[in-house]
A = this chain, B = another copy of it.
Amino acid sequence: MSLATSAGAGNSPERLHSPRVLGTTTADRLKEAAIIEFAERGFHATTTRDIAARAGLSPAGVYVHFPSKEDLLYAITLTGHEAALEMLQEAAADSPTPTDALRATVGNFARWHAEWFRDARVVQYEFPHLSHDHREHILDLRKQINAVVADILEAGRVAGDFDIEDVPATTLAVLSMAVDVCRWYDSEIRRSPESIGSSYGELAVRLVSRR
């Protein structure tokens, strides 16, 4: 499993691809505030006043940096999906065999959902609240994310390493396990994101390996 060592500016070197810049600018502080609030309450139950207060601004301050509340959600979900996609592509590229690639991608994906569980909750569960065009763009990125794992499974099937009846369905099942981590994970959980990632990588390999 590869650890991120070339992550973006401001990223803690032990954590996977940050889905946000750990912020010093006001816009970054606003994004972080919104992530916390959206993850806890959901997009619609979070007010711009909540976000502004958490970022230490007046309510109108949000509009200096983002044209609307929906644009703020879009900025968050876009950055998050791009970070996840990049991480998966790197993990896949760093792996010589389909089995290694599967272990690395699913393991990292699960770990990422734990490490950045608030960001991931917004990314996974709040994007349907975007306006139509924004949502379409996010759905494209999601298809790309899905395709990284599907391609690995197909390569393994063709190579005879994996025993899979239905690649798209298995892709979904495997991704589901990893995505769902952000739903149940929180700061009180006594398992480290690395440990979760490691076991999910093994579970994924076990699920598809030829017996």
Contact = CB atoms under 8 A, between A and B. Distances in A.
A206 interface: yes
Nearest to A208: B206
Nearest to A199: B169
A66 interface: no
Q: How many copies of this kind of chain does the complex include?
A: 2
Nearest to A163: B206
Contacts of A203: 170, 173, 207
A interface, over-half SS:
helix
Interface in A179-211: 179-181, 183-184, 191, 196, 199-200, 203, 206-207, 211
B42 A129 contact: yes
A2 interface: no
Contact of A44 (B44, B176, B206): B44
Contacts of A172: 180, 184
Q: Which of A42, A170, A176, A183 has the most CB of B within 10 A?
A: A176
Contacts of A196: 169
A184 B176 CA distance: 9
Interface of A: 42-45, 125, 129, 165-166, 169-170, 172-173, 176-177, 179-181, 183-184, 191, 196, 199-200, 203, 206-207, 211
Going nearest first, the 3 A-B pairs with the smallest beta carbon separation are A176-B180, A44-B44, A44-B45
Given A125-B125, A206-B207, 18 more contacts: A42-B42, A42-B129, A43-B45, A44-B44, A45-B129, A166-B199, A169-B191, A169-B199, A170-B203, A172-B180, A173-B200, A176-B179, A176-B181, A176-B184, A177-B180, A179-B180, A180-B180, A211-B211
